[in-house]
Amino acid sequence: MDLASTEVTRMENIRASFMSWGWLLPALVPTAYTAGRSIGTVLYILYALWAILALRKSDFHIPKPMALLYLGLLVVFMLGTTEAIDIERALHGWRKFAFHSMVFFITWTVLRARPWRSWEAQAFRWLGWAAVAAAGIFMARMVPNIIEHGLAGAALVTNGLVAAYMLPFLMLFVSRHLTSKSRLWTGLIVALPVLALVANLSRTEMVVAGLVLASMLWIRSGWKVRITMSVLTAVVLAAGIHHISNHLDPVVTGEDGRPVSPFSRDLETMGERLGGIDIHWMATLDNITSHRSTFWFGALAYPPNNPLIGVGVRNVRYHRKLFITVKAKHMHNFLMDAWYETGLLGVAMLMAWLGFLIGGITRGVRRLGDTELAHFSIPLGASVVGVLAASSLDKTYHTVSFSMFMFFCLALLWSAAHQPKESSTPTKDEPETELERALSDVLQNTENHHP
């Protein structure tokens, strides 16, 4: 065999292995970042290089409206670079968001020629193992703190958000791999991470986990149950906020009844710029939200110089007037961060892109009228809700959970929802595309050799 044919064979093997299981690596990336930032970065770089070598230009068949909307999003995100204090950081953040979000198109390209039932079990198996690992890492980090500080040490552990928004995959994985005789173990394995999240005493993790579980019930329930759940959720949230506000450290006030703190004058100035908001109310809300509300008030009080295009991706950290109570790198809310860094144009395009995808998935599932497909969408949809919740309270739009993992889940849903109504393998009268032939070979030769 000559050198040229050897090279062709090698490239075909790279392509075949990516089509078989390499496309699933984004399922592991958030968990890898939980284990260590360098581990997650190496895993993503491996995935990106593998995809570049495996896929060809002819594989991509992106509808024109979708392509224009996505390109418009990237162009608008780039505009804020002209206002950036740190242009290099802005460009790096833009490239990172662009590369991460391309996961949607890569995943859809691999799956578009395959009926969703042919890859559903494999995808949920990988997502399940990732969820088990994320929960395991989170709980393992608690053990030394609990040994040293007692149960109070559980509150010292951070990075529980990945375990929180991956709860649906943990539940599905456990239920599929344990028999009915092992229901006690099933309940225990699922309950342990939930109890760990509660013991962590992080309001963000508890809110995310609660919304994930509630959304799973919401998606599969009728309207009567949904209305009842909405009322109960409102009551629980009101009771929770009241309980939290009564158990927080009180806001220290002076003789005039006004809050006394190193940043009280800054809060007062901020309140005046917003039309005379009461400083005591602002200080109390800052306490309840762990300083997040002050970030958001600060953004409204001191908007970017150019509200249309913002200050540049990842450049909000340099606007210190927003972070008077505590130093932070972003505002812990993807909408506020997107508005401040990419402007009104950027946040509008981001919402349009998300609305386009979620709306298209919903219409596709209804069009197919497939009960199994509707059930398939429950854990993925709930996890997307969890990521959006986490990105509204802690993460932001250019983190891995939002810009990569969420778009991976949306790609799985989109691929399933936009297959032909009677998806089947091509008949002899229907010509196969190059990608379909490659996938056919992969399924025949490597189906039983997944790592």
SS (H, E, C) 414-427: HHHHCCCCCCCCCC
Tokens of 286: 């800052």
Q: What is the pLDDT of residue 187?
A: 63
Q: What is the pLDDT of residue 263?
A: 56
Give the C-alpha separation, 114 to 425, whole Å.
Answer: 8
Q: Is residue 73 part of a domain?
A: yes
Q: What is the pLDDT of residue 322?
A: 78
Q: Is residue 428 part of a domain?
A: no
Is the distance from CB of 392 to CB of 337 less than 8 angstroms? Answer: no
Is the distance from CB of 366 to CB of 184 less than 8 angstroms? Answer: no
Give the C-alpha separation, 230 to 423, whole Å.
Answer: 37
Q: Is residue 303 part of a domain?
A: no
Tokens of 229: 């759940």
Tokens of 401: 């959970």
Sequence-distant (6+) residues with CB within 8 A of 73 are 346, 349, 350, 352, 353
Give the C-alpha separation, 361 to 384, whole Å.
Answer: 12
Which stretches in the chain have pLDDT values below 50?
247-252, 255, 259-260, 423-439, 442-451
Give the C-alpha separation, 426 to 441, whole Å.
Answer: 14
Kindly provide the b/e burial profile for residues 369-383, where b requires at least 16 CB atoms within 10 angstroms of the residue's own CB.
Answer: ebeebeebbbbbbbb
Q: Is residue 307 part of a domain?
A: no
Tokens of 74: 């990237």
Concatenated DSSP letters of 208-270 = HHHHHHHHHHHHTS-HHHHHHHHHHHHHHHHHHHHHHHHHSPPPPB-TTS-B-STTHHHHHHH
Q: Is residue 46 part of a domain?
A: yes
Percent of residues in the chain assigned helix, strand, coil, to nearest 5: 75, 0, 25
Q: Is residue 293 part of a domain?
A: no
Tokens of 364: 């596709």
Global pTM reads: 0.84
Is the distance from CB of 204 to CB of 370 less than 8 angstroms? Answer: no
Q: Is residue 21 part of a domain?
A: yes
Q: What is the pLDDT of residue 153?
A: 53
Q: What is the pLDDT of residue 442?
A: 40
Name the maximum alpha-carbon separation found in the chain.
Answer: 90
Q: Is residue 11 part of a domain?
A: yes
Is the distance from CB of 59 to CB of 41 less than 8 angstroms? Answer: no
Tokens of 154: 């559980």
DSSP H/E element including 13: helix 3-20
Which residue type, as a one-letter code, is found at position 340?
Answer: Y
Give the C-alpha separation, 16 to 19, whole Å.
Answer: 5
Q: What is the pLDDT of residues 303-360, one digit of tens each?
A: 999 999 999 999 999 987 777 767 788 899 999 999 999 999 999 999 999 999 999 9
Residue-number span of the structural domain to which 347 is assigned: 3-247+332-421+435-446
Number of domains comprising the chain: 1
Tokens of 321: 């007037």
Half-sphere exposure for 433 (CA within 13 Å, toward CB) = 13
Sequence-distant (6+) residues with CB within 8 A of 2 are none
In the three-class reduction of DSSP (H, G, I as helix; E, B as strand; rest coil), residue 361 is classed as helix
CA distances to 142, 189, 256, 285, 365 from 136, in Å: 10, 10, 51, 34, 34
Q: Chain-centre distance of CA 249, in angstroms?
A: 32
| CA 274, 277, 283, 287 torsion-angle sign | negative
Q: Tokens 């109960």 appear where?
A: 232
Give the C-alpha separation, 59 to 99, whole Å.
Answer: 18
Q: What is the pLDDT of residues 208-239, one digit of tens each?
A: 888 888 888 777 666 666 666 666 666 655 65
